[in-house]
Structure 1
Amino acid sequence: MSVVDDKTVVRQYFNSTGFDRWQRIYGNGEVNRVQRDIRDGHQQTVDRVLEWLQADGNLGGLMVCDAGCGVGSLSIPLGDAGAIVSASDISEKMVAEASQRARNQLITRASNINFMAQDLEKLTGRYHTVICLDVLIHYPQNQAAEMISHLCSLAENRIILSFAPKTLALSILKKIGEFFPGPSKTTRAYQHREADIIKILSDNGFTVSRESMISTRFYFSRLLEAIRC
């Protein structure tokens, strides 16, 4: 599958069966045991990022880019905390859902968030902090490198990324999972070596300042915060 095909598959998936699946996982409705586990893992990642940002004590008025915002799991609490958020996703349906959730949940802060459907690599602007959570798993290493480099060019001070770490145990688990494809599992799941991600960040002038590992039974995410040198 080519790089272009990966993007096409991801866009089509999250505008169709993938949207139905993931907006349910990221919501509050009834889900199965595996989906609840993934929901919990994703929320732990969001909560960890919020902890980091809140600990810095400067969220009010902070310019933040949430690249791959999904249904707004991070963008909405950031906007509620006073950050000025530019939130984007490759899926038009995800962006529409995120925008609606923001209007429903934020009485006075919805205007803090600008939602848009856009390819990550076409994003423009300058932001204090750029965040990209649970996106790199959908793309191979060469395209991930291009994406990270572009995100680094948008970040004046900090970039926060999450990715599925490439380890022997997780590689085996992934292989086992491929024997049991579900109807909504239509995108490839790519793992990335942490050393490769750190090198990309370093090549773009960033050094890792905080890190965390979020793991549940079915969700594994390595989280890195990098500061511009």
Structure 2
Amino acid sequence: MATIDDKTIVQNYFNAEGFDRWRRIYGGGEVNKVQLDIREGHQQTVDTVLGWFRADNNLEGRTICDAGCGVGSLSIPLAQMGAKVSGSDISAKMVGEAEDRAKQALGEANLPQFSVQDLEQLSGQYDTVVCLDVLIHYPQEKAAEMIKHLSSLATNRVILSFAPKTVAYTLLKKVGDFFPGPSKATRAYLHREQDVVAALQAAGWQVERTGMTKTSFYFSRILEAKRLPEGVTAPASTMESQSSATLAWAIFVLIAGLAALAFWSAL
């Protein structure tokens, strides 16, 4: 029940005031310092993923599902690199913006196919499924279901990004929760990396590459997983468990509260 509420809230938000706010953040126009920091952080995440594709040097003609494509920040450069891209988003306004930006960047050549869909509605088979900065809208139990579903659509690779649930980020978020701001229009869920890895492994995938984006107001963990050969079991995760917060972290979080005030008020 709560998950349905979350989805409706997200859909309404990104079709209303959230659309204009995030269109500016994901654009090239003037924004405030906090929004600029988020823009740069998100672009770093996109650039990391694009760098992985370039390093593999086999993107031409590959089918890519960009789940939660937003304004096309990843879909468009992937299409420019020769991929056959299907992008989707829960927000009709975001999809419309992505289509406009794609036409401006590509003309009529190899345009991505955009559609208005939530993650549960996605179907088909793709070489790679990418889902960037979307799991923040899902609680962990629903995120695990979404990871399983998205994994079923990929034949070769799954790439996910999420806001990592660490001691520092959890405390920083709690500090931010004390302050009012438009960002409260949607819930933000942090996820433990070991939970995301476990969901991938349960679906038959093994993490091959990782990345991390950290700016002042944006943080995103990026995982690339490949399908395990039939009969092969993924090794147990060796990630260290989260330790208790140290005094240094506590001091850091208290200081960061001032920054959090600006963050939660500016979005």
**Which residue does 1:77 correspond to in 2?**
77
Q: Is the 8 A contact 2:102 2:111 kept in 1?
A: no
Deviation readout 1:130-159 (Å, 9 max, x if unpaired): 000000011101111111110000000000
Deviation at 1:112, TM superposition (A): 3.4
Aligned to 1:210, what secondary structure does the other structure show?
strand
CA distance in 2, matches of 1:183, 1:217: 19
Aligned to 2:78, what secondary structure does the other structure show?
helix
CA distance in 1, matches of 2:118, 2:102: 21
**Which residue does 1:36 correspond to in 2?**
36
Q: Is the 8 A contact 1:13 1:187 kept in 2?
A: yes
CA distance in 1, matches of 2:193, 2:211: 12
Aligned length: 228
CA distance in 2, matches of 1:78, 1:173: 34
Aligned residue identity for 2:23: Q
Aligned residue identity for 1:132: C
Q: Is the 8 A contact 1:62 1:128 kept in 2?
A: yes
Q: Is the 8 A contact 1:130 1:159 kept in 2?
A: yes
Equivalent positions of 1:1-229 (< 5 A) are 2-109=2-109, 111-229=110-228
Q: Is the 8 A contact 2:62 2:83 kept in 1?
A: yes
What TM-score, normalized by structure 1, do the two folds share? 0.98
Deviation at 1:108, TM superposition (A): 4.5
In the alignment, structure 1 segments of 5+ residues that lack a partner are none
In the alignment, structure 2 segments of 5+ residues that lack a partner are 229-267
Q: Is the 8 A contact 1:214 1:221 kept in 2?
A: yes
Q: Percent identity?
A: 64
What TM-score, normalized by structure 2, do the two folds share? 0.84
**Which residue does 2:235 correspond to in 1?**
none
Aligned to 2:49, what secondary structure does the other structure show?
helix
**Which residue does 2:254 correspond to in 1?**
none
Aligned to 2:50, what secondary structure does the other structure show?
helix
Aligned residue identity for 2:28: N
CA distance in 2, matches of 1:141, 1:84: 31
Runs of 4+ in 1 over 6 A off after TM superposition: none
CA distance in 2, matches of 1:112, 1:101: 10
Deviation at 1:208, TM superposition (A): 0.3
Deviation at 1:7, TM superposition (A): 0.4
CA distance in 1, matches of 2:56, 2:44: 19
Aligned to 2:188, what secondary structure does the other structure show?
coil
Aligned residue identity for 1:169: A
CA RMSD of aligned residues (A): 0.9
Q: Is the 8 A contact 1:83 1:112 kept in 2?
A: no
CA distance in 1, matches of 2:213, 2:182: 26
CA distance in 1, matches of 2:183, 2:217: 16
CA distance in 1, matches of 2:15, 2:101: 17
CA distance in 2, matches of 1:97, 1:182: 25
Q: Is the 8 A contact 1:161 1:225 kept in 2?
A: yes
Aligned residue identity for 1:45: T
